[in-house]
Structure 1
Amino acid sequence: MKTIKKLLTLGLCGGLLISSVLTGCSNSKKVVIGSKDFSENIVLAEIMAQLIENDTTIQVERKLNMGGTFVNFEAIKNGGIDIYPEYTGTGLTAQLKMDVINDADQVYEIVKSEFDSQFGVTWLDPLGFNNTYAMGVTAEIAEKYNLEKNSDLIDVASELVFGAEHEFFDRQDGFEGFLEAYGIDSFKDVAKMNTALKYQAIGSGQMDVTDVFATDGQIVEYNLKILEDDLGFFPPYYAAPIIRNETLKKYPELIAVLNKLGGKISDEDMTALNYQVDVEKKSVEEVAKGFLESKGLVK
């Protein structure tokens, strides 16, 4: 009887051990993808997540819409996330605290080298589009004040209300730097708001000038005039996946998988994806899947 009990106990323990091992194996291959709190970055993160799920056996945990640049950057440094989409200009000015450089290739090589050595983070291939900052005004304001380029704001800024998201006021390549570069004393008034509100505000006439990303879908929705950055203040902002070096040691196949996106997203592509989400109100998952299928990256 004792022998039977012992065998049953061993069998139970063995079953639990096997179950534990299998459970551990099933959960061991996982990466966490994060994103910032605006549609474009969320869509890019979802595209990356779906591509990894399609091409590998790695499970993907999504932490999308986390917050601004600082939140995502701290998370990837401390291991809270493994991957997120970043922009070269942001890496240069906001994270490395370097001065603006206008040569796109030079900026990429700098952030790639410095992120690797300082933070243990790898920049993969750029996705193709340049979502640089720009200044946008409504067609009515552009016509009224004859605005074509940023320097046209110098003489009329005191008559105009400027508004932007909070982060724009905290960046070297943001509000204060812009005023200094163009010799603008001040605007009539300045408003800080959440990213989601600024297009509604300029569209409804609550403000006259705002910062935009060149690929924002709302530029089309609100028929905004993009002013030429005639003094070249804003650096290039080429998007790319960035990933922890520790993660790449575990899953080196992610380099080849995510680099399939290299050069695949044009400015026009990204604007269209943003428009689908922000204006047509399609789901991020649907838009990401449609893009991957259109490029032949998934079936």
Structure 2
Amino acid sequence: MTPTRTGKKLAAIAAATTLGLGLAACGGDPTETTGAPDSQSGDGTITVGSAAFPENQILAEIYAQALEATGVTVEKKLNIGAREVYVKALQNGEIDLVPEYTGNLLTYFDAEATATSAEEVEDALDDALPEGLEVLDAAAAEDKDSLNVTSDFAEANDLTTIGDLADLDTVKLGANPEFESRAYGVPGMEEVYGIDGIEFTAISDGGGPATLKALLDGDVDVADIYSTTPSIVENDLVTLEDPENMIAAQQVVPLINEAKATDEVEDVLDAIAAELTTEDLLELNGKNQGDDKTDPAVLAEEWLTEKGLI
């Protein structure tokens, strides 16, 4: 457990003891659920939610199945929708637990936050969370913007970090339009790493097929692709390291109702965090999005079994 949330944990345990809330059995629509859509979960039940994209659903299944394996009663309300929707569901008691990403969660609750390193983001997030919500241990796994080049381009130009791009006369960069103005985009590349001569090409597909094609065809030298996108591995791309933490940490973290964060629940979720890596997410996403189209529930069970967690 990280020291920054020790106080919150002790307060949550005390509240659970006082109120008797320990576990007894230890682009989507929020009405599209696998649990009761309108009622709050009972004191002995953990209701696990997810955002409306496959990776988050896989993570929610991992949480749910691991908790069930220890005897916790679990309901699932997956594919809820955007952060604005599922955070509201968490705060009003429709769900109790959801997989989140540290950097984006921080800026959701504190739009002025400037923390970027993993430790700084975790510390700031503990302070930014509203009363009643808690984050548990963060995994090493991250899903965030990442700058990628082909292996041939990396080898030809001796590239391993973002800063190495400063040695190039020009850098043809492809990314979503907002990357041109965001602090972790072109401005950060210029100010943090001293990169000049950036020629920006806006590609509006979130690092998807059009961005990948532009990179592979040589129309751009560098592409912003989310770090758990299977195309990175499938095309042997080189993700440039970010030693100055220009791009904020986005570690996978459980966001939970404090009243449901018993010792047993925390132990289960912390064990998952200790095992989950970005490479795991790449593999899970690849199986889900590849030819097999493996279901999130199946992938979760396979991963938990492989890691010895169920």
Superposition TM-score, scaled by structure 1 size: 0.70
Q: Percent identity?
A: 26
Q: Which amino acid aligns with 2:309?
A: L
**Contact 1:168–1:175, Cα closer than 8 Å, also in 2:** yes
Do 1:92 and 1:99's aligned partners in 2 also have CA atoms closer than 8 Å?
A: no
Kindly tell me: are residues 252 and 66 of structure 1, through their superposed partners in 2, closer, same or farther at Cα, counting changes over 3 Å? farther
Residue 48, structure 1, aligned to residue 63, structure 2: yes
Distance 1:284 1:146, change over 3 A: same
2:126 and 2:240 mapped to 1: Cα distance?
30
CA 289–155 in structure 1, closer or farther in 2 if over 3 Å, else same: same
The residue aligned with 2:50 is: 34
Q: CA offsets, 1:248-284, max 9 Å, x none?
A: 27x7753344333230223433333233223453222
The answer on whether the counterparts of 2:148 and 2:222 sit within 8 Å (CA) in structure 1 is yes
CA contact (8 A) 2:175 2:211 kept: no
Aligned mates of 1:75, 1:170 — CA distance in 2: 32
DSSP-derived class of the 1:296 partner: coil
Q: Name 2:81's counterpart in structure 1.
A: 66
Q: CA deviation at 1:174?
A: 4.8
Instruction: Give the structure 2 partner of residue 91 of structure 1.
Output: 105
Q: In structure 2, what residue type is equivalent to 1:40?
A: E
Secondary structure of residue in 2 paired with 1:43: helix
Q: Which runs of 5+ in 2 are unaligned?
A: 1-38
Q: Deviations over 1:4-59 (max 9, x none)?
A: xxxxxxxxxxxxxxxxxxxxx9x84461411253x433321121122233333524
Match for residue 298 of structure 2 among 268, 271, 286: 286
Cα deviation for residue 161 of structure 1 reads 4.0
Matching residue of 2:124: 110
Cα distance in 1 for partners of 2:169, 2:132 equals 43
| Letter in structure 1 aligned against 2:132 | G
Q: Relative to structure 2, which stretch is displaced further, 167-176 or 39-48?
A: 167-176
Structure 1 residue 181 corresponds to structure 2 residue 196: no
Aligned length: 267
CA displacement at 1:242 relative to structure 2 = 0.7
Alpha-carbon distance in 2 for matches of 1:80, 1:171: 34
Secondary structure at 1:192's aligned position in 2?
Answer: coil
Cα pair distance change 1:261/1:254, threshold 3 Å: same
Supply the RMSD in Å over aligned alpha carbons.
3.7
Shift of 1:224: 0.7
Aligned residue number for residue 21 of structure 2: none
Pair 1:193-2:209 in alignment: no
Is 1:295 aligned with 2:302? Answer: no
Contact kept, 8 Å, 2:50 with 2:56, in 1: the verdict is no
Structure (1 or 2) with the greater helix fraction: 1
Q: Indicate the structure (1 or 2) with the bigger Cα radius of gyration.
A: 1
CA offsets, 1:191-236, max 9 Å, x none? 2224554664446536442223444432111211111224331233
1 CA distance for matches of 2:94 and 2:185? 27
Match of 1:264 in 2: 275
Q: Give the counterpart letter for 1:232 in structure 2.
A: N
Amino acid at match of 2:49: I
Q: 1:123 aligns with which of 135, 146, 152?
A: 135
| 1:234–1:56 distance in 2 versus 1, CA, 3 Å | same
- Are 2:163 and 1:151 equivalent residues in the alignment? yes
Of 253, 258, 266 in structure 2, the residue corresponding to residue 240 of structure 1 is 253
- The residue that corresponds to 1:3 in the other structure is none
3-state SS of paired residue (2:255): strand
